[in-house]
Structure 1
Amino acid sequence: MKRFISILYLVFFSFVVTLAQKECFYPVSQIPDSLRKNAYSVVRYESNDFEYINSENGVLKVTRAVTILNDKGSDAANFSDGVGKFWKLKKFSGKILDQTGKVIKKIKMSDLRTSSISTELATDESISYYECSQPVYPYTVVYEYEEDWVNGMMDFPSFSPMQDFQQSVQQAVYHLTMPMNVKFQAFARNMPQTADSTMEKNHSIYTWMLNGLPAIDEEDLMPSFYTLAPRLQLKPVMFSFDKSTGSLASWQDVGQWLWMLSAKQDELPPDAVQKIQEITSGARSEKEKVKRLYHYLQSSTRYVSIQLGIGSYQPMPAATVYKTGFSDCKGLSNYMMAMLKVIGIPSFYTIINTDRAHLITSFASPRQANHAILIVPLGKDTIPLECTSSVVPFGYIHHEIAGHDALLVTSAGGRLYHLPSYPDSASYVRTAMYINLSNSGELQAKIHSVYTLSHYEEMLPFEKIANNDDRIKIIAADYHLPSLKISNIALVDHHDSLPSLELTYSLSSDTYATLSGSHMFVSVNPRKNLYPFFSSKFRKYPIVIQNGNMESDTLIITIPNDLTIEKVPADISLQKSFGKFFSHISIHDKTLKIVQTIAIPAEELPAKGKDDFKSFLDTVNQAYQDQIVLRKL
C-alpha cells in the first residue's frame, strides 16, 4: 500500500513538474549573444500560416513571441491588427513572460481596444490593439491570433518578422497552403525566394524559414530599412476583390483591371461641359487649355481620402466630384481627365508610389502604389499633374513623384513609365546678406533669399503662416546669434513650372561681433547652422544622399572707418566625388565680400568613404565658424 502511494505521489509530482515546465516559455538565457548585439528587442519565434481556400476566402494563423531587452524596444511589445471588410479577427490570446519564461500575465480578446480613428475621410477599416507596459526588463510577449480573409484578396499576408531597426530574429517561418490548381507568385527581398514544398491531399504546402538574423544597426544617411530587412510578398495570379475579378500576371493586366474600374466614371453633366468650354475658350494652345483647367481644379476642389472596398482602387465618378467639390487622389485625377476629354485632349490616369521611387517590375500589383496622378502628353511635352494639391504649380514635378516609376492606365492595359527628375543644381537656396557693422559689434542687415524646387516646397508651409511672430521664430532658427530682431518680412512666389520663392527681411543684432581690447572678432557666416557630424564608430552601410542640394551665401559686410581688417580666413576649394565646397573672402576698402557655396549631389557612397565625407563636412563646418579679425585704428 505504501509502495502504491509512493508511486502515485511520484506520478502526480512528475505531472505537476511537467505542467510547470510547460508554463515556462522563451527564457531570455536562450538568446545567443549574436542576437543581443545592437538589439533592443528579439523576435524569438514567429509563425505565419496562411491557407488559401478560394479567391474569396482564406485563413491566417499567427504566433509571434518577442523579447523586449530594454525600454528602447518597448514598442515591439504592442499588438495591433487591422480589421474591416476584408479581414476579421476571429481569435486572439496573449501572455507576458518574465526573463525566466514564467507567465506573469495572460491577455484575452476582451482586453483589446478598437479604434476607428483614421486620417481617411471614409474607410471600412478599424484597428484592434493592445498596449503592453511592463516596468521590469527584459520580458517577453507572446501573441496568437487568427484572421478570416473574406470578400477577395489581391495579395496574401506578407512575411516581415523583422519590423524595425535594432530588432533581431531568432526563428521565423511562413507556411502557405494552396489548392494545387491555383497559381501564385512570390517576391523575396533579403531572404530565399524559393520555398520548400510538400503535398497533402489536393494541396501544396510551401515553407519559407529564417534563422538567426542579427539586428540592423541604424546609422546616419543609410539605406532605408525597407531595402535591408527580409520581406516576402505573395499574390494570386488571378484574383477576386470586392466582387471584381482580374489578373496580376503582368503590369498590362493590372492596367486593364484599373481601366475596367474607371469605365463610365468620366461622364460629366451638360452644365459642367459648358463650364469647361467657357474656361478654355480663347486659349492659344492646348497647353494653355490644360493649365486653365488645372487652375480651375485647384480652386474648386479639395482633397479627402476615401478607402471603402473597391473604392480603394475605383475613382469616384467625375460627375460626383463636380457636384460635391471633393474627392481623393483617384477621383480628382479622374475628374481632371474627364474635363480634358471634353475638349479633346487625351490623358492617362496614373498610379505611383510617393514613398518608394521604384516599382518591383517583376511583381505586378496595384498594391505597390499609394497615389494617383494624371499624365498629359502634349506632343514632345509630357505634363504630370498633381491633382490633390491647391498649391503645386502647373507642370511642376514635386519631390514625392519626381524620378519615380509609375503605371499609365490605358485602354490597352498598363504601361510602365518613369517620371523625369530635375538636376541637383536646379534645386538650391541662394542668400545675399548686406551687413552694416558698427564699431561696438552691432549688426544691421538686409537679407534676400531665393528657394527653388524642393527648397521651394519646404517653404510653402512658411508662406501659409499668417502670424508674423511665428515667421520670426522660424527665420531666427537659421542663425546662431543670441540676440536677433527681425522685421519687414516679405515673400514673392514665382508660381511657375520651375517654381521659386523669394524671401526678404531686415535683421539686427547687438551681439554679432565680439570685442577684445583693440580687436573685434566677426563671424564669417552667422546664418549657417552646422552640418551634423558622423559617429566615429565603424560604419557598416553605404552613405545615401537621397536629395541633391546646393546652397550659396554671399555676405557683403561694411565695416566702420575706425576699424581695419587685420586677418581673414584663407580661401577653401574642395572638390570631391561626393561634394564641392568653396569659400572665398575678398577685401574692397572698407567692405568684405564673402562667398560660400556647397553642393552635394544625390548619390550612394560606400561605407569605407565615411571618413573622407566626415572630413569634408568638418572642413565646411569650420569654414562657417571661422572668424574675421578687425582692429581699431
Structure 2
Amino acid sequence: MKAKNLLALLFAVPLSGAPRFAPVGAPEPKYSVATIPAALREGAHAVLRADDEVVTVKSAGRLVHTVHKVITVLDAGGDAFGRTTVGYDALNAIGYLRGAVYDADGRLLHQLRASEIRDQGVGDAGGSLMTDVRVRYADLRQPQVPYTVEFDYEVVSDNTLFYPTWQPQDEEGLAVQSATLRVSTPAALPLRYQERQWPAGAPLQHTRAGSQEQYAWALADRPALDEEDNAPPLADTTPGVALAPGAFEVQGHAGSASTWQSFGQWNYELNAGRAVLPPATIAKVAELIKDAPDPRTRVARLYNLLQGSTRYISVQLGLGGWQTFPASAVATSGYGDCKALSNYTMALLATAGVPAYVALIGAGSDHADLRPDFPSNQFNHAIVCVPLASAGRPDTLWLECTSQTTALGYMGSFTGNRHALLLTPKGGQVVATPRYRCADNRRERRIDLYLDAAGAATATARTLRTGQEQDTYAQLLHELGPTEQKQYVAEHLRLSTFTISRFGLAAAPGAGTPGVVETLGLALPGYAPPSGKRVFVSPNLLSRLPALPAQVGTRQTALWVPRASLQADTVQLHFPAGFQPETLPAPVQMATAYGNYSAQYQALPDGTVRYVRRLEMPRLHLPAASYAGYVDFRRKISAADRAQVVLLKTDV
C-alpha cells in the first residue's frame, strides 16, 4: 500500500465522528457477513462458512476427531446454530472446547469462557439409570442478527467401533460456503468409506506418505435447501461421507467390521456365556410351559412372563454399551437395557427348547434403514428373532423386549419395515423385519351423522386403527390418562367448531395385528345451515385429505411416502323430517401408481344416505418426475373429499 493511501485510511473519519479503524491491539475483523456470496445468503437462515474436520486414526483402538466450525446466523430461523453440544463418556474424552462470536462486520464480540460451558449428564425418555454419557454445551447466540459463531473442539476416542459420519449440509435453510474432511490412518489400518449423494467434480484426494494414508474431501458453495414435500430425509439427499474401520478394538476386545459376518461375530463372542439362568427361573419356565402344545404358545407365555416381570433401563457404561448384563442378573433384579432384556429373553426361550437370536437394529420411526452395502455400526437397539416354522414354512416371530405393552410379534414404526443384523454363532446375517402393508395399517371408521332442521348436527364415530396406524394411539392408551387422551384427540380433529360429548379409547379385541378402538360423540353447531330450501352437507366429517402445494421450480428430490395405509370410511347421514336428498355427488374411482381411491353415495329406503370412502396408499419411493402426478392425485382426492350432498326441504 502506498504511504499516502495508508495515511488516508488512518485519518479518514466518518460523519458520525467514530474512527473507522480498530483500536490498537484489537483483533482484525474476520467472517464479515458482506463477504458471503449473495447466492448463499438467498433463502438461508444460516451459512456454514467453514467446517474443517480432521479424523486421525492413531491405532486400532484410538482415534482423534477435531472440528473447526464457523457459522453465520442470518436471521432468527438459524438461531439454533449459535450453540453447540459435544458428547463424551468413559471411552470418549473431550480434549478442548473453544468458541467465539463476531458481529456482522466480523469484529470479535466475545470469547467463550470455561465458566460458560455447561456440563451435564444425559438421560432419555425411558428413564436412563446407568449411564456415563455427558455433554458439554456452549451457547453463543446473540440478540441481534446477523452474527457469526466459531467453535473448535477435539474428541479423543477409545471406541473405534464408531468412526464419524460427515454431512455438512444436514439442516434445512443452511448454506455451505466451505467444508472439508481429512482423514489420516496407518496404512496397516486402511480406511473404509462410503460417499453418499456425492457431487460430480469433487473427487476424493488420496495420498500416501510413508506409513500413513491421507484422504481428503471438500464441498463448497452449496445454496440452502428447503425440504420438499414428501421428500426423503436430508441425510438421503445431501452429500456426505460415512467412515468405518476394518479392524477395531474396544477395551481390549478386538474385532473386524469389514463384513457383516465379522462384525456380528465380534458382537456374538463379546456376549457369549451370558445367557445362563438361575435354577429358580429355569423351574419357573418349566412349570409355565409344561402343557404348551407348540413352540408359538411357549413363546407367547414366556413373552408374557418377560413383560410382567421386567422393566427397561438404559445402560451406557463404557463397554456396557455393547456387552450385556448376564441373564442371571436380569432374572434377579428384574431390569435391563435392550441388550440385557433381549439376551434374557433368548435364555428363557432356550430353556423352553425354542432357538432364538439377538438382532441389532436401528430403531425409531425416523431412523434410516440399514445400508447393507456398507458394513459398519448403524445400530442403536437390540431385539429378538425367533425363527419358527408353520406347516413346513418359515414363520418368524420378532420380539420387542423393552416394552410391557407391545403385542407379541409386533414391530410397528419403531423397528418394522427395515433390516437388522442377526447375531449367530457363525457371525452376523442381515435379515428383514416384518413389512407392514396397506392391509396391516388400517383405519376403519363408522360414523352416524344426525342433522337437525336448524343446521346443527351430532355424530357418533367408532374408529378402529391397526398396525402402524395405531402406534400413536396405543402409546396414548398405555401412557396417558383419559383426560390427556381426549385432549390429544381434540387437538387433531380437523373441525372448526365442535364439542366432544363422549370419548373412549381401548385396545381392540382379537389376535393378529394389534389395534386400538376410539369412540367419539360430537356436537357440531352450525355444521350445515339451511340456504333457502336447501341444505349442503359434507358427509366426509373426519377423513378429508388435504391437497398438496404445487411444486415451485424443478423438483429436486424423490417422491417418498414411508408408510402404507388403508382408510375405509362409512358415514350414514340422518336427516330431519321434511328433508330429502335432491342431489348426490357422482361416484369417484381412481386407480393410479400412487394408490387407489373410491367414493360412493347411496340413498337408502329408510330415508338415509350412505357415503362409503376407501383410500389405499402403498409405500412409495419414486423418481422426482413422479411428484407432479402425485400432486394431481392428492388434488383430486381433496376435491372428492369435499363433495356435498344437497338436501331439499319438502314441507314448504
TM-score by length of 1: 0.92
Where 2:59 maps in the other structure, the secondary structure is coil
Deviation sequence 1:88-127 (CA, Å, 0-9, x none): 2222322212222222222233321111142132221211
2:66 paired with 1:66: no
Of residues 365, 368, 376, the one that matches 2:386 is 376
2:612 paired with 1:595: yes
2:341 paired with 1:332: yes
- Other-structure match for 2:17: none
Shift in CA distance, 250/578, structure 1 to aligned 2, threshold 3 Å: same
- Other-structure match for 2:374: 363
- Other-structure match for 2:635: 618
Displacement of 1:320 in angstroms is 0.8
- Other-structure match for 1:185: 192
Displacement of 1:514 in angstroms is 0.8
Aligned amino acid, residue 424 of structure 1: C
Task: Name the CA distance, whole Å, in 2 between partners of 1:213 and 1:90.
Answer: 31
- Other-structure match for 2:326: 317
Displacement of 1:195 in angstroms is 3.4
Task: Name the CA distance, whole Å, in 1 between partners of 2:192 and 2:291.
Answer: 53
Displacement of 1:23 in angstroms is 1.8
Deviation sequence 1:432-465 (CA, Å, 0-9, x none): 1123333333434432222111112232133237
Aligned amino acid, residue 564 of structure 1: Q
Deviation sequence 1:299-357 (CA, Å, 0-9, x none): 11111111111111111111111111111111111000001111221111110112445
> Is the 1:357–1:405 contact (alpha carbons within 8 Å) kept by the matching residues of 2?
no
2:233 paired with 1:228: no
Shift in CA distance, 447/614, structure 1 to aligned 2, threshold 3 Å: same
Query: For structure 1, which segment, 168-177 or 290-299, has the greater mean C-alpha deviation from structure 2 after superposition?
Result: 168-177
- Other-structure match for 2:312: 303
Aligned amino acid, residue 131 of structure 1: D
Shift in CA distance, 586/127, structure 1 to aligned 2, threshold 3 Å: same
Task: Name the CA distance, whole Å, in 2 between partners of 1:91 and 1:240.
Answer: 24
- Other-structure match for 1:464: 478
Shift in CA distance, 430/327, structure 1 to aligned 2, threshold 3 Å: same
2:154 paired with 1:140: no
Aligned amino acid, residue 375 of structure 2: A
Q: Aligned pairs, how many? A: 622
5+ residue gaps, structure 2, are 11-20
- Other-structure match for 1:45: 50
> Is the 2:598–2:615 contact (alpha carbons within 8 Å) kept by the matching residues of 1?
yes
- Other-structure match for 1:345: 354
Shift in CA distance, 270/511, structure 1 to aligned 2, threshold 3 Å: same
> Is the 2:498–2:522 contact (alpha carbons within 8 Å) kept by the matching residues of 1?
no
> Is the 1:357–1:401 contact (alpha carbons within 8 Å) kept by the matching residues of 2?
no
Aligned amino acid, residue 65 of structure 2: L
Task: Name the CA distance, whole Å, in 1 between partners of 2:189 and 2:629.
Answer: 54
2:409 paired with 1:395: yes
Shift in CA distance, 24/488, structure 1 to aligned 2, threshold 3 Å: closer
2:302 paired with 1:293: yes
5+ residue gaps, structure 1, are 1-5
Aligned amino acid, residue 183 of structure 1: P
> Is the 2:172–2:227 contact (alpha carbons within 8 Å) kept by the matching residues of 1?
yes
2:451 paired with 1:443: no
> Is the 1:358–1:404 contact (alpha carbons within 8 Å) kept by the matching residues of 2?
yes
2:432 paired with 1:425: no
Deviation sequence 1:496-523 (CA, Å, 0-9, x none): 2322333334444443321233332322
Task: Name the CA distance, whole Å, in 2 between partners of 1:383 and 1:152.
Answer: 33
Where 1:502 maps in the other structure, the secondary structure is strand
Identical counterparts, % of pairs: 28
TM-score by length of 2: 0.89
Of residues 121, 134, 150, the one that matches 1:126 is 134
2:649 paired with 1:632: yes
Aligned amino acid, residue 364 of structure 1: P
Deviation sequence 1:27-77 (CA, Å, 0-9, x none): 222222332232211111121122222233333332111111111111112
Where 1:266 maps in the other structure, the secondary structure is coil
Of residues 602, 606, 615, the one that matches 1:586 is 602
Task: Name the CA distance, whole Å, in 1 between partners of 2:368 and 2:222.
Answer: 27
Displacement of 1:385 in angstroms is 0.9
Task: Name the CA distance, whole Å, in 2 between partners of 1:467 and 1:59.
Answer: 48
Shift in CA distance, 86/472, structure 1 to aligned 2, threshold 3 Å: closer
Of residues 207, 210, 214, the one that matches 2:223 is 214
Aligned amino acid, residue 376 of structure 1: V
> Is the 2:205–2:215 contact (alpha carbons within 8 Å) kept by the matching residues of 1?
yes
Task: Name the CA distance, whole Å, in 2 between partners of 1:490 and 1:364.
Answer: 43
Where 1:178 maps in the other structure, the secondary structure is strand
2:569 paired with 1:562: no
Shift in CA distance, 406/504, structure 1 to aligned 2, threshold 3 Å: same
Of residues 174, 182, 203, the one that matches 1:175 is 182
- Other-structure match for 1:164: 171
Task: Name the CA distance, whole Å, in 2 between partners of 1:349 and 1:484.
Answer: 48
- Other-structure match for 2:205: 196
Aligned amino acid, residue 212 of structure 2: H
2:271 paired with 1:254: no
> Is the 2:184–2:214 contact (alpha carbons within 8 Å) kept by the matching residues of 1?
yes
Shift in CA distance, 472/154, structure 1 to aligned 2, threshold 3 Å: closer
Of residues 509, 524, 528, the one that matches 2:543 is 528
- Other-structure match for 2:100: 95
> Is the 2:405–2:478 contact (alpha carbons within 8 Å) kept by the matching residues of 1?
no
Where 1:494 maps in the other structure, the secondary structure is coil
